[in-house]
Amino acid sequence: MVTMTAISIWLLRLEEALRDRIAPAIRRFGTRYSRVILPVFLALFLIGAYVSSRASGVTFADLRFAPLIGVFLGALATTAFNAWGFQLIAIYSAVRLPFREAALVSSFGSLSNFLPIPGSILVRGGALISRGATVKQSAGSITLAALLWIGLAGLLTGLALAVQGAALGWPAILLCGLLSIAALGRLALQGNARLAAAFLLQRTAMLSITVLRFWLGFQAVDVSANLVESATFAVASVFGAVVAIVPAGLAVSEAMAAALASFTVLSPATAFIVVALNRLVGLLVDGIVFSLFSVRQKKEKTGESQ
């Protein structure tokens, strides 16, 4: 009990530091250097994709169609679970969101990450505030959900590394395990046990889908990889998604995946290509979902005004 209380206090201080000091500093930095950050990391992404393609011998013309369809369906499932996750964040912020609106906000948030500002944070936070949440509630819930997301993804990556004999896996398991427990404990204390369990289920499902998407991605480029090896890159995908200083975490996820590949039998170049492929398919799905839901919403509003 004492240990859990200490962890909960530590997490509260971390959450407050992220919300009140670190996140505003990142936004100011991103705004100040916005004209430089996006072109630089876009160039790094394109250079990395070109070098990885040459090193691995993989081109888009070589992609296998059936696994690629699986990646697309996996991205659809990711968008659906993202919407559910945002509904849970809304509940934690003491507001309610219908699934369709949550899907619209989540998909637009993912697309807006390419703006030279932390677009997803602003879009999600704005949606919560428009529903009646306070700035403190929206910022706190989004921050806590991100901490849980990083903790669980890091825990999964640590487990995958440990199974493959990499010593780096054990400290990752310890640190990310403690972060996950603390985040879940705070969710249970501030919300309730059912809400914390729902968050855990949603994040676990998301990670499972992410691993499956990576596994299918390796199949799409005709590279043999098992689920444990694919799980190694879970934290790369999540870390790139929550990095606010680089638009959409561009090249961050891919570079981290290439680095993690050195602990597996897979080549860094192939890992870069697979993560980049999943990114592109995910953006395509987010664009389709946002377009469909926004068009339907406009039609409904037009019908109500007539």
Contact indicator for 289, 194 with CB cutoff of 8 Å: no
C-alpha distance across the termini of the chain, in Å: 60
Contact indicator for 122, 112 with CB cutoff of 8 Å: yes
Which of helix, strand or coil describes residue 233? Answer: coil
CA distance 301 to 305: 6
pLDDT in tens, 150-205: 999 999 999 999 999 999 999 999 999 999 998 888 888 877 889 899 999 999 99
Tokens of 298: 């406009």
Is the confidence at residue 39, as pLDDT, over 90? Answer: no
CA distance 26 to 24: 5
What is the residue-wise DSSP string for 251-277? THHHHHHHHHHTTSSS-HHHHHHHHHH
- Mean pLDDT, residues 280-295: 81
How many folded domains does the chain comprise?
A: 1
Q: What's the domain range around 144?
A: 2-305
228 pLDDT band, cuts 50/70/90, is: very high
Contact indicator for 255, 52 with CB cutoff of 8 Å: no
Where is mean pLDDT largest: 1-5, 12-16, 88-92, 154-158? 154-158
Tokens of 278: 């999943």
Amino acid of residue 298: K
**Whose CA is closest to 84, among 204, 213, 255?**
204
In the block, residue with structure tokens 């493959």: 164
- Amino acid 176: pLDDT: 93
CA distance 306 to 295: 17
**Whose CA is closest to 129, among 113, 146, 141?**
141
pTM of the model: 0.81
The percentage of residues in the chain with a pLDDT greater than 90, rounded to a whole number, is 30
- Amino acid 142: pLDDT: 83
- Amino acid 152: pLDDT: 94
Comparison of pLDDT for 159 and 136, the residue scoring more: 159
Comparison of pLDDT for 176 and 18, the residue scoring more: 176
Helix locations, 93-114, DSSP H: 99-112
- Amino acid 29: pLDDT: 45
Burial class (CB in 10 A: 0-12, 13-18, 19+), 276: buried
Is the confidence at residue 211, as pLDDT, over 90? Answer: yes
